[in-house]
Amino acid sequence: MNSQDSESPGRKRWLVLLVVCCLIFCADAMMYQVAGMSETIITEFGITSAQYSALLFAPLVPSFLLGLVMGSYVDRHGAKRLIFVCCCITIAGSLLRIIAPNFIAYFVACVLIGFAIAALNANLPKILGIWFGVKLDMAVGWFYVSASAGMAAALATSSLFASPSAAYLCLTVAFSVVALAWMMIVPADAGAPSPDMHAQSSALGDIRMVIRNRYVWIIAINLGLGLAASSAYIGFLPQFLYSRAGAEVGGSMAALVTLGNIIGSLLGPLYIGRAIKYRLALVLTVCGGLLLMALCLVVYGNFLWLAFVLVGVFTAAAGPVVEALPCKLPGIGHRYAGAAGGLVAEVSLLMNFFIPIALAEVAGQDLMLLFAMMLVCFALIIPCCLALPARDKLLK
């Protein structure tokens, strides 16, 4: 796929984007079924808050263990086979979760579910950058929309199934269909370089090139803090509101946050991605999200539902813009986008896994303390935004 093809209006790129979005929708729905059925799972396995957090974020383990390797592989060999194999592992994990007899088996199943998430997150700029070029942040925004929709669907519908097994099986079937669609629609060389692109370098050399770029690390930490804070907020919100308004209201409010994520993922590339002083726009967005998250924990009223939607808008708007940046960094570009995306995914999702678990362990049963520490994490995004390169230093 050459650069001219990536700018053409053909429908092929929209089919690719549709399949990628459906994959992350199903995969994230699988992940957040744990949050949607939190009380049932905690009771069934008799686990602590820290163990529940470990289950909730277990699908992120493959991302921080294998993200860089997956990205480097796609830089050299393309994405089609790797992502399909990872989808098959995810299907196996989802089936294992149906029969898991204890916490350890359930945790392993959740880890396996994360393989598809790892492959998609690590290679998102690489795969979509080929097809969408300068409109990459818009395509990433739709990816974020689909991920948020998957979370919302899991939170809103998990309790409607007759049993957890029925909910797991439904998503397993849907995900399997989309995985087959990936193999049928996506070209065999999707994301692959030209034959001589890496002739003068080794895979290890490519990885070194990415690791030495400080902006890749800043992007990774920026996304990691945002993911950890917002994931903890959504993941523990049903439990936080359970004692105040009941399980149904708690799940509904968390779903409203993910609805706001959908809106924010679409608006972010429009008003942040196009802003000349995009770093200032990022900071203002983070500040708005910080204030709204704090208010929603202590203020109640008839318009609380709107406040939770706005929380989702402000916490998600920056993500697509920041995640699309590696392709625009000098020294990275499209050539090393897979390895850069892998490092970003590895670091950010490592933070997304360990930070909520650490916060839950420190806070114990005091959920208000947990949310206070989470807000501090979210505030740390501000200096990361200011450290990003200015607009005139980015590749066009």
For the chain, report the end-to-end CA distance as a whole number of angstroms: 19
As a whole number of angstroms, the distance between CA 239 and CA 49 comes to 10
Range of 51-65, 166-180, 192-206, 260-274 with top mean pLDDT: 166-180
Structure-block tokens of residue 391: 């607009």
What is the predicted pLDDT for the residue at 178? 95
Q: What is the mean pLDDT of residues 214-218?
A: 91
Mean pLDDT of 116-128: 85
Q: Using CA atoms, how far apart are residues 67 and 75, in angstroms rounded to an integer?
A: 12
Virtual CA dihedral for 296, 379, 259, 24, nearest 10 degrees?
-150
Place of tokens 């030495």: 212
Tokens of 249: 């209201």
Q: What pLDDT is attached to residue 112?
A: 95
Q: In the chain, which residue ranges form alpha helices assigned H by DSSP?
A: 3-7, 12-36, 38-45, 49-57, 61-77, 80-99, 103-132, 136-157, 164-185, 203-211, 214-245, 247-271, 278-298, 304-316, 318-323, 337-363, 367-379, 381-386
How many CA atoms are closer than 13 Å to the CA of 311, on its beta-carbon side? 28
Q: What is the pTM (predicted TM-score) of this model?
A: 0.77
Among candidate residues 186, 199, 181, 200, the one with its CA nearest the CA of residue 123:
186
| pLDDT tens per residue, range 26-62 | 999 999 888 788 778 888 888 877 788 788 878 988 9
Please return the burial class of 56, using the count of CB atoms within 10 Å of its CB with bins 0-12, 13-18 and 19+.
buried
Distance CA 162, CA 143 (A): 30
Mean pLDDT of the chain: 83
Please, how many CA atoms are within 13 Å of residue 34, restricted to the half-sphere of its CB?
32
Residue 149, pLDDT above cutoff 90: no
- Burial category of 205 from C-beta neighbours within 10 Å (exposed 0-12, middle 13-18, buried 19 and up): exposed
Of the pLDDT bands very low, low, confident and very high (cuts 50, 70, 90), residue 140 is: confident
For residue 7, what pLDDT is reported? 41
Quick: pLDDT tens for 236-287. 777 777 666 555 555 677 778 878 888 998 898 888 878 888 899 999 999 9
- Provide mean pLDDT across the span 59-72: 84
Evaluate whether 141 touches 317 at the Cβ level (below 8 Å).
no
**310-367 confidence digits (pLDDT tens):** 998 999 899 888 988 888 888 787 777 778 888 888 888 788 878 888 888 888 878 8
Nearby residues of 116 by Cβ (< 8 Å), 6 or more positions away = 23, 27, 83, 86, 87, 89, 90, 175, 179
